[in-house]
Amino acid sequence: MTVGYVSESGFTRLQQSLANHRVRQAPQTITHAELDALQQAADQIPIPGVIIDMIAQLRRDLGAKGIRVSDRRCGKTHGVLRAHALLEGRSAIEEDDLAILKYVLWSSPDQQSEISRLCARLSNPIGLVSAAAPFGRGVEPAGGMAGVS
pLDDT tens-digit profile of 96-122?
999 999 999 999 999 999 999 999 988
pLDDT of residue 42: 96
For the cut 50, the answer to whether the pLDDT of residue 149 exceeds it is no
Residues 6 or more apart whose Cβ sits within 8 Å of residue 62: 68, 69, 105, 114, 115, 118
pLDDT of residue 148: 38
Confidence of residue 91 (pLDDT cuts 50, 70, 90): very high
Show me where the domains of the chain are located: 32-134
Q: Report the chain's mean pLDDT, rounded to a whole number.
A: 81
Q: Which CATH architecture has domain 32-134?
A: Orthogonal Bundle (1.10)
For the cut 60, the answer to whether the pLDDT of residue 134 exceeds it is no
pLDDT of residue 23: 66
Q: Which residue has the higher pLDDT, 19 or 32?
A: 32
pLDDT of residue 142: 39
